[in-house]
Amino acid sequence: MKPIEKNLKSLVVMGRRNFLSRAAALGVSAGLSAPAIISRAAAQDISDISLRDQDLPFIGTEETFSTPELMVLNSINEDHILYLKDTGLAELGPRRIGAMNEAGLNVQILSAHTPGVQNVLGQEGIDFAYRLNKQLVDGPMATYPGRFEAFATLPLQNPEAAADELERAVREDGFLGALTNGHIGKKFLDHPDFEPVLARAEALNVPIYLHPGYPADEVFQIYYSTTRPEYKKEYQDYIFSGSGYGWHQEVLTQCIRMITYGVFDRFPKLQIIIGHMGEGLPFYYERVVGDMSDSTQNSLNKPFGQYFHDNFWFTTSAFFQDELLHLLLQYISVDRVMFATDYPFADMKEGTNWFRAVNLPREDKEMIAFRNAEKLFGIKI
pLDDT in tens, 28-37: 333 333 444 4
Say yes or no to pLDDT of 203 above 60: yes
**pLDDT-above-90 percentage for the chain:** 81
Predicted confidence at residue 21, as pLDDT, reads 37
Q: Order of strands across the sheet with 148-150?
A: 59-65, 107-112, 148-150
* 8 Å CB contact between 325 and 35: no
Q: Does pLDDT of 27 surpass 50?
A: no
Per-residue pLDDT, averaged over 350-367, amounts to: 98
pTM score: 0.89
Average pLDDT for residues 152-166, to the nearest whole number? 98
In this prediction, residue 252 has a pLDDT band, given cuts at 50, 70 and 90, of: very high
Q: What is the pLDDT of residue 75?
A: 82
Supply the mean pLDDT for the chain.
90
Kindly report, residue by residue over 136-155, the tens digit of the pLDDT.
999 999 999 999 999 999 99
Q: Quick check: bond before 155 cis, omega within 30? A: no
Q: 2 or 285: whose pLDDT is higher?
A: 285
Closest CA relative to residue 275, chosen from 84, 63, 91: 63
Checking if the pLDDT of 193 tops 50, the result is: yes
What is the distance between the alpha carbons of residues 317 and 314, in angstroms, rounded to a whole number? 9
Q: Which residues, other chains included, contact 208 with Cβ-Cβ below 8 Å and sequence gap of 6+?
A: 177, 178, 179, 180, 189, 197, 198, 201, 270, 271, 272, 273
Using the predicted structure, report yes or no on whether residue 8 has a pLDDT greater than 50: no
**Per-residue pLDDT at 166 exceeds 90:** yes
- What's the mean pLDDT in 9-24? 37
> Does 370 have pLDDT greater than 70?
yes
Among the ranges given (84-98, 222-236, 360-374), the one the predictor scored with the smallest mean pLDDT: 222-236
**pLDDT given for residue 232 in this prediction:** 82
**Span 30-75, pLDDT tens digits:** 333 344 444 666 666 778 999 999 999 999 999 999 999 999 998 8
User: Is pLDDT of 240 > 70?
Assistant: yes
